[in-house]
Amino acid sequence: MSTPADFPPPFASAPAAPAPRRKRRWWLVALVVLALLVVLVIGSLLGIAWFARSAVLRYTDTSPVALPKVTASAESGAALRERLVKFFEALKGTQPLEPLALTADDLNTLIATTGRNPFKDRLYLTIDGQGLHGEFSVPLGKGVPGQLQGRYLNGQGDMKVAFQDGELRVWVDNLSAHGRPVPKLLARQLSKRNLAEGLLNNPEAYNTLQQLASITVTNGALMLQPKEP
């Protein structure tokens, strides 16, 4: 998969120290996948928080927009998380393992049914031949400049994914808010940033990525291809 010409160089390898086992291991497993989803909104917030006052009015709204409704049940969410747990646990084995395919419905189910998830009802994903497409409606409040208080970031954009030698890169493309493309300067800044870099701060997530041969968007699904044992 091609990346922007000015995309930053690969980040340095991080130590692959084993992480202690935790009771709610499915949450750390979900972190690897959810990281691919939430970076679009996070990147947007980081950029728009620095806009001038006039730009705030231009790119934000006073109310949220309705996103497509996800009707996934708690049971289907639990079954999906269990499938993820089994896949990532099997990565540690010595037997050949089939790729894990996650459809847009799967990703939206994760968002809708994962506990303590700030993006529930605020982010909706679709998948096409180019990558992941997200629609979002996020309230702006705590931690942002005063003029953003009580306003909403409503928009959409695309995420591109590249994975090589255990290094994951995710960047934002074609981002718009309030029906307008974001300023070119912000778009360039976002396209240069590897928004998945924070995964290296989690040793378990990092070690998990080392067991994958590829992460691609293929045939309407996010495909996680294990390495050969």
Query: Is the pLDDT at 32 greater than 70, yes or no?
Result: no
Nearest-angstrom CA–CA distance, 32 and 127? 18
Angle at 105 between CA 180 and CA 37, to 5 degrees: 50
How does strand 151-164 pair with strand 131-140?
Answer: antiparallel
Query: Is the pLDDT at 21 greater than 70, yes or no?
Result: no
Q: Does residue 189 contact residue 164 with C-beta atoms inside 8 Å? A: no
pLDDT range class, residue 76, cuts 50, 70, 90: very high
Query: Is the pLDDT at 14 greater than 50, yes or no?
Result: no
The mean-pLDDT minimum among 7-11, 33-37, 78-82 falls in 7-11
What does the pLDDT look like over 35-57, one tens digit per residue? Answer: 655 655 666 665 666 666 677 77
Query: Is the pLDDT at 202 greater than 80, yes or no?
Result: no
Q: Does residue 67 contact residue 137 with C-beta atoms inside 8 Å? A: yes
3-state DSSP helix/strand/coil % of the chain, to nearest 5? 35, 25, 40
Nearest-angstrom CA–CA distance, 208 and 216? 16
pLDDT range class, residue 143, cuts 50, 70, 90: low
Between the ranges 96-105, 157-166, 174-183, 189-198, where is the mean pLDDT highest?
Answer: 96-105
- Which residue is it, tokens 């996680």? 224
